[in-house]
Amino acid sequence: MEKIGDRDPVATLKVHRSRSPLRDVAVHILYELGVYRNEEIGSVFGVGYTAISEAAKGGRRPLQADKTLAEITAGFRIDN
């Protein structure tokens, strides 16, 4: 059984750095709230602050395409 600290940190960060529509939705929500700086959001997802605005834009697409996802996340967004 794998214990905390047994995983390779580089492999762990690769998971966070990979593009994923749901990650982009989460970034979009945090970005749109306007409460967090790009650096703060980036540190949560293991990416640089410059990647956040692009990920936030990418997070709009799944919300526009998936009505159920948009409804689920509506309570977390300001634009609902």
| Side-chain half-sphere exposure of 57, counting CA atoms within 13 A | 4
Q: How far apart are CA 17 and CA 14, in angstroms?
A: 5
Q: Residue 72: what pLDDT?
A: 87
Q: Supply the Cα-derived Rg of the chain in whole angstroms.
A: 14
Q: Residue 75: what pLDDT?
A: 78
Q: Residue 76: what pLDDT?
A: 76
Q: Residue 42: what pLDDT?
A: 93
In tens, the pLDDT along 13-65 reads: 554 455 688 889 999 999 988 899 999 999 998 889 999 999 999 999 999 99
Name the residue with higher pLDDT: 24 or 4: 24
Q: Residue 80: what pLDDT?
A: 47
